[in-house]
Amino acid sequence: MYLLPKPKRVVNRQGYYEISWNTVITIDEKMQENGSVCASILQECIRKYAGIECAVIKGKKRAGDIFLIMTPEYQAQEYQIQAREDGLVIAGGDGAAVLYGVQTLCQIIAQCGGVLQCMEIEDAPDIKYRGYFLDETRGRVLTLDYLKKMADRLSRYKINQFQLYVEHTYLFRELTEMWRDETPLTAEDILELDAYCRKLHIELVPALASFGHLYMLLSTRSYGELCERYGSWNAPFSFWDRMGQHTINTADDRALPLIKSMIAEYGALFTSDKFNICADETFDLGCEKSRAIAEQQGRDAMYIRYVKELCTFLKDRGKRVQFFGDIICRKPELIAQLPQDTLCLTWGYAPEQSVDACHAMAQAGAVQYLCPGVSGWNQWINLMENSYRNIVRMCGYGHQYHAEGILNTDWGDFGHVNHPEFSVPGMIYGAVFSWNKEEIAFDEINRQISLLEYGDTTGQTAGIMAKMSEYMLFGWRDAVVYYETVGQKHERDVDAQLPELLLSDADTADEMVEKANQALQGLVTQMKRAAVFMNLQSRTLAGLVELAAEAIQLWNQIGAAIVHEEWGESWRQEEAFALAGQLERWFMAYKRQWRTIGREGDLHHIAEIIFWYADCLRRRKTRFGSVK
């Protein structure tokens, strides 16, 4: 039997506890904190996996009951399960702990049905806060229904914080020019999601770009003058520029009042006592408009003064500030200038991520969250092994340096083209290794995820997904950079970024693509065969995998077409036209799938790139170009 996260102590006893038609889920009469939510989750699980309808009441424990109780014997988030022949008790130190006990019991029932081995489980997390950070701004703006489903999944794996990263995808009342071409979240969306998460003991924490990464705000005519760079409001859209430019000019007296007003409007929607101001990747600070001040005072002084101002503003409003630590980790001593309870989000996404930043911030006395990532950005399907190695390492640093939290990040660079379902294994890695420091090998945890998350009794699903990324030869990031360099004539230093495929001769490229695409097709076939062993709601994953595999195959072929063009060996017209048609048919299916879980978001920007490639294949536009 598999349990994720793995409990600290499991002891099997003699005998079995059987759930029957007269089993009653009893909530202790003194339990006031969301007992009915815990009971309804358990009731639905028993109905689904044991085929039995259990009544729910509130009162005293009787023989045969499943009894839910809060008790001062346990700490917050600490729970115990006792399954005996005459009844089952879930006891926890608070409402969250009882819920975690219920979620563990649900995993047991999903594997054992209505006949459970008598046992005792004692469990509590190693790290207090275990969060998931979802980019809801650069590509996909997911529907409220889908976000609620995500909250359900986070709860299932005992994740207790959720953040939606927002730059421009909230409908600010006065900033119409910023969101007019988007499909933003509304106040009603946030209020409803906040209440939904709260019932699941998940803290919905606001995360709003407030310093760097203000692309859409600083690309408007109304506020473009506040950008550190000149002429930002007049530049054409660029996925690349959106990632690296558009830091606010802190020396402009209009900047702070604007950002504070946005923080106040957005923060009012959340019951959390925290606010993530982000403040990461302020690449342009002091580069142009405030250069004279930067030369006089120093960029570090400008940075910390601005962050301190926002921290003080939020502290006065009863909020504890979080911010990403990539800038301050270069001068860790600056943390002393911020309020003592400020939370530094120390991030790093490399598979072999160094401990240096975490160590430096700990030495400086910072209170930290460690932030790994699910490695889905710029990809059609997540780099799962990279994600696993990164998350294990960063969670290990979190345990070693007594981090207050882990915040597992799911960014959406270049349009968030990967389906959110492909980030689920990475999300579970973060839940597992932040709860319990004991490591589980990559292949083994994928087998366990396959069974627990997808109901796949063969244990193959997550492993199949993990292998797919090995065959991306001309990925989405490559396609975007090539388009913006060649198609849009943006200046890019692309030589060091060219994939191996584009550095090959035409014959070698064709061989590479044929081999990779055949391997991908084999993985798709494996997934289709595994689908029959999955639970019903997970079988749609096979279709998502096939759509992603086709994307990888198509872009591999487009990469080969570029190589042929570079070597003066253009494809035959019928082959090029056929590939363009395949790309457009695939994109129609992709758009249909996109809209089932999200709003339009950046779909139109993705379409521009895809249609450019299709037009190049048909020679409606200049046939590709040269970056060599």
Residue 49 scores a pLDDT above 60: yes
Instruction: Average the pLDDT over 443-451 and give the result.
Output: 98
Instruction: Average the pLDDT over 68-74 and give the result.
Output: 96
Residue 494 scores a pLDDT above 80: no
The strand pairing partners of 368, in sequence order, are 344
Burial of 187 (C-beta count, 10 Å sphere; 0-12/13-18/19+): middle
What per-residue confidence (pLDDT) applies to 356?
97
Give 450-486 as a DSSP string: HHHHH--TTS-HHHHHHHHGGG-SS-HHHHHHHIIII
CA atoms within 13 A on the CB side of 70: 17
- For residue 572, what pLDDT band results from cuts at 50, 70 and 90? confident
What per-residue confidence (pLDDT) applies to 489?
62
- Nearest residue to 345 via CA among 325, 366, 359: 325
pLDDT tens for each residue of 144-164: 999 999 999 999 999 999 999
Helices 442-454 and 424-435 pack at an angle, to 10 degrees, of 110
- Least trusted range by pLDDT, from 7-11, 272-276, 573-577: 573-577
Give 597-616 as a DSSP string: HB--TTHHHHHHHHHHHHHH
What per-residue confidence (pLDDT) applies to 321?
98
Instruction: Average the pLDDT over 251-277 and give the result.
Output: 98
Residue 244 scores a pLDDT above 90: no
- For residue 487, what pLDDT band results from cuts at 50, 70 and 90? confident
CATH number of 129-439: 3.20.20.80
Hey, is 120 helix, strand or coil? strand
- For residue 622, what pLDDT band results from cuts at 50, 70 and 90? low
CA pair distance 160, 75, nearest whole angstrom: 16
Q: Domain map of the chain by residue range?
A: 9-123, 129-439, 466-617
CA pair distance 41, 104, nearest whole angstrom: 11
pLDDT tens for each residue of 350-381: 999 999 999 999 999 999 999 999 999 999 99
- Residues whose CB falls within 8 Å of the CB of residue 504, separated by 6 or more in sequence, listed in order: 512, 563
What per-residue confidence (pLDDT) applies to 179?
94
- For residue 34, what pLDDT band results from cuts at 50, 70 and 90? confident
CA pair distance 513, 515, nearest whole angstrom: 5
CA pair distance 197, 162, nearest whole angstrom: 8
Percentage of residues of the chain with pLDDT beyond 70: 97
In order of 91, 100, 124, 194, 480, the CA distances from 203 in angstroms are 22, 15, 18, 8, 36
CA pair distance 386, 372, nearest whole angstrom: 11
Instruction: Average the pLDDT over 506-525 and give the result.
Output: 96
Residue 369 has phi, psi (to 5 degrees) of -105, 140
What per-residue confidence (pLDDT) applies to 245?
73
- pTM score: 0.96
pLDDT tens for each residue of 409-430: 999 999 999 999 999 999 999 9
CA pair distance 627, 613, nearest whole angstrom: 16
What per-residue confidence (pLDDT) applies to 628?
47
- Find which of 225-239, 434-448, 480-494 is predicted with most confidence, using mean pLDDT: 434-448
- For residue 623, what pLDDT band results from cuts at 50, 70 and 90? low
C-beta of residue 534 within 8 angstroms of C-beta of residue 454: yes
Residue 32 has phi, psi (to 5 degrees) of -105, -15
CA pair distance 347, 210, nearest whole angstrom: 18
What per-residue confidence (pLDDT) applies to 32?
79
Instruction: Answer with the residue of higher pLDDT: 89 or 486.
Output: 89
C-beta of residue 428 within 8 angstroms of C-beta of residue 449: yes
Query: What do you get for the CA distance between the two ends of the chain, in Å?
Result: 55
Domains 9-123 and 129-439 fall in the same CATH topology = no
What per-residue confidence (pLDDT) applies to 566?
81
CA pair distance 256, 506, nearest whole angstrom: 54
The domain 9-123 is placed in CATH, from the list 3.30.379.10, 3.40.50.1100, 3.30.365.10, 3.20.20.150, at: 3.30.379.10
pLDDT tens for each residue of 284-326: 999 999 999 999 999 999 999 999 999 999 999 999 999 999 9
C-beta of residue 358 within 8 angstroms of C-beta of residue 328: no
C-beta of residue 557 within 8 angstroms of C-beta of residue 575: no
- For residue 492, what pLDDT band results from cuts at 50, 70 and 90? low
Helices 187-199 and 144-156 pack at an angle, to 10 degrees, of 20
Token pair recorded at residue 329: 């980790």
Helices 424-435 and 461-468 pack at an angle, to 10 degrees, of 110
Strands 343-347 and 320-324: parallel
The strand pairing partners of 59, in sequence order, are 28
Helices 461-468 and 442-454 pack at an angle, to 10 degrees, of 120
C-beta of residue 427 within 8 angstroms of C-beta of residue 395: no
- Nearest residue to 433 via CA among 370, 383, 382, 377: 370
CA atoms within 13 A on the CB side of 8: 15
CA pair distance 40, 93, nearest whole angstrom: 20
